[in-house]
C-alpha cells in the first residue's frame, strides 16, 4: 500500500496571496507538480486544514486540484479530513463524506456521522480499511475526538479487515517538547489509545504541526506529515515559533516486513526557507494562555448513522 499524504493546504476563497504573502493555491500546485512522477500510488490522504477560513470556494479548488492529480497518476481515491481551520458544513457540501473516488464521486461504504456533528467515515481500497475522524473543535486550535466518534471507531475496529486499517485525522496524538505542540495537539490521546488498543490499525496519519514527526501511541505508529502552505522551523529559540516558505508532503508505504515506512518530499521553491511569520516567546505564551482560558461548550454527542439512514498563524 502506497499512500501520498498531504496536509494543511490552507487554500483561500480566491487564488491570491494570503496576509503573509504566500499563495496557498500556488504552493499546492507546486507540490503536486513535484509528485507527478510517483507511480504505484494506491491512495491520497489529505489530513485537514484544507481551507484557511472554511470557504466553499477553497474546498472546490482543493477537490479540483487534488482530484485532477489523482486522475493523472492512475485514478486513485482521495481521503480528506477536517482540521481546525475547516468548516464542517462547507466541507460536506463540496467533499461529502471526504472519501472520494478519482472522478469526484463519494465512495463511502459504511458508517458516516451527520456532517453537522462530525465528518467521520470508512471505506476501503487495496485490501486496507481507511477510517477518517474529525478532531475539529470549532473556534479552537487544539483538537478532540468526541466520545461518540470513539465509540463508533471501536465498533468498526471490532471486526478486523483484510490487511488492516489506516486511521487519519488532523490533530496529532503525539508531541515534542515544544510549547505550541503540547498546547495545540489532540487533547484526548489516551481515549484514542483505548479505542484502538489491540485492533488492526497499522498507522495513524495526521498533520496540523506543519512539520514531519514520527512516534507511537502505545504500540501504534503515528506519522505527522509537514504542511503544504508552509512549514515550522524548530531551529529558533525555545518557546518561539517561526514559519518558513516551502511546500512539503510525504509518502507512506505499508506492508512487508519493514513497514510502515515514511519519506518526506520538499517542493523546489526558489523562496524556500524565507520567513513567513515569527512569534517571540511572549506572543507565543499569550496565544497558548488564551487557548487554555477559553474552554468551549461541550458539543452534542450524536449517535452514528448508517449510510442510507437518516488566531494562531498557519496551524
Domain-located, residue 75: yes
Give every CB contact of residue 219 below 8 A, 6+ residues apart in sequence: none
Average pLDDT over residues 127-147: 95
DSSP letter string over 59-110?
HHHHHHHHHHHHHHTT---EEEE--TT--HHHHHHHHTTSEE-TTS-B---S
- The angle subtended at Cα 139 by Cα 250 and Cα 112, nearest 5°, is 65
Q: Write down how long the chain is.
A: 315
Domain-located, residue 315: no
Domain-located, residue 314: no
Domain-located, residue 167: yes
Q: What CATH number does residue 279 fall under? A: 3.60.21.10
260 prior amide bond cis, ω within 30: yes
Domain-located, residue 138: yes
Domain of 115, in residue numbers: 2-306
Sign for the CA dihedral angle at 183, 174, 140, 211 comes to: positive
Output the pTM of the full model: 0.91
In this predicted structure, the answer to whether residue 307 has a pLDDT above a threshold of 60 is no
pLDDT tens digits, 186-206: 999 999 999 999 999 999 999
pLDDT tens digits, 84-97: 999 999 999 999 99
Among the residue ranges 45-49, 103-107, 235-239, the one predicted with the least confidence is 103-107
Residue 308: predicted pLDDT? 40
Confidence tier at 18 by pLDDT (50, 70, 90): confident
Residue in 109, 100, 170 with CA at minimum distance from that of residue 134: 170
Confidence tier at 16 by pLDDT (50, 70, 90): confident
Number of structural domains found in the chain: 1
Confidence tier at 119 by pLDDT (50, 70, 90): confident
What is the Cβ-side half-sphere exposure of residue 249, based on CA atoms within 13 angstroms? Answer: 26
Mean pLDDT of the chain: 90
Domain-located, residue 164: yes
Average pLDDT over residues 112-127: 81
Domain-located, residue 312: no
Give the separation between CA 11 and CA 60, rounded to whole angstroms. Answer: 10
Domain-located, residue 233: yes
Query: Using an 8 Å Cβ cutoff, are 208 and 85 in contact?
Result: no
The three cell numbers locating residue 17: 496571496
Amino acid at each position: 500500500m502506497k499512500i501520498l499524504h498531504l496536509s494543511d493546504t490552507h487554500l483561500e476563497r480566491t487564488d491570491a496571496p494570503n496576509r503573509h504573502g504566500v499563495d496557498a493555491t500556488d504552493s499546492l500546485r507546486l507540490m503536486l507538480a513535484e509528485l507527478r512522477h510517483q507511480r504505484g500510488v494506491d491512495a491520497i490522504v489529505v489530513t485537514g486544514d484544507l481551507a484557511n477560513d472554511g470557504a466553499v470556494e477553497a474546498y472546490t479548488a482543493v477537490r479540483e486540484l487534488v482530484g485532477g492529480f489523482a486522475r493523472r497518476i492512475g485514478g486513485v481515491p482521495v481521503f480528506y479530513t477536517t482540521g481546525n481551520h475547516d468548516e464542517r458544513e462547507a466541507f460536506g457540501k463540496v467533499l461529502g463524506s471526504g472519501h472520494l473516488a478519482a472522478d469526484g464521486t463519494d465512495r463511502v461504504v459504511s458508517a458516516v456521522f451527520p456532517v453537522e456533528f462530525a465528518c467521520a467515515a470508512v471505506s476501503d481500497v487495496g485490501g486496507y480499511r481507511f477510517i477518517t475522524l474529525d478532531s475539529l473543535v470549532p473556534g479552537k486550535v487544539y483538537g478532540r475526538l468526541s466520545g461518540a466518534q470513539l465509540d463508533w471507531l471501536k465498533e468498526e475496529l471490532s471486526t478486523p479487515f483484510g490487511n488492516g486499517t489506516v486511521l487519519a485525522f488532523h490533530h496529532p496524538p503525539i508531541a515534542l517538547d515544544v510549547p505550541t505542540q503540547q498546547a495545540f495537539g489532540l487533547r484526548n490521546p489516551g481515549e484514542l489509545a483505548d479505542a484502538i488498543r489491540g485492533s488492526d490499525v497499522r498507522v495513524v496519519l495526521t498533520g496540523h504541526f506543519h512539520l514531519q514527526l514520527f512516534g507511537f501511541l502505545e504500540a501504534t505508529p503515528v506519522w505527522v506529515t509537514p504542511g503544504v502552505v508552509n512549514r515550522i522551523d524548530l531551529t529558533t529559540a525555545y518557546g518561539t515559533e517561526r514559519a518558513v516558505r516551502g511546500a512539503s508532503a510525504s509518502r507512506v508505504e505499508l506492508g512487508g516486513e519493514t513497514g510502515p515506512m515514511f519519506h518526506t518530499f520538499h517542493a523546489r521553491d526558489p523562496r524556500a526557507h524565507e520567513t513567513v511569520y515569527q512569534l517571540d516567546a511572549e506572543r507565543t505564551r499569550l496565544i497558548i494562555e488564551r487557548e487554555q482560558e477559553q474552554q468551549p461548550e461541550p458539543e452534542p454527542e450524536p449517535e452514528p448513522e448508517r449510510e442510507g439512514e437518516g488566531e494562531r498563524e498557519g496551524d
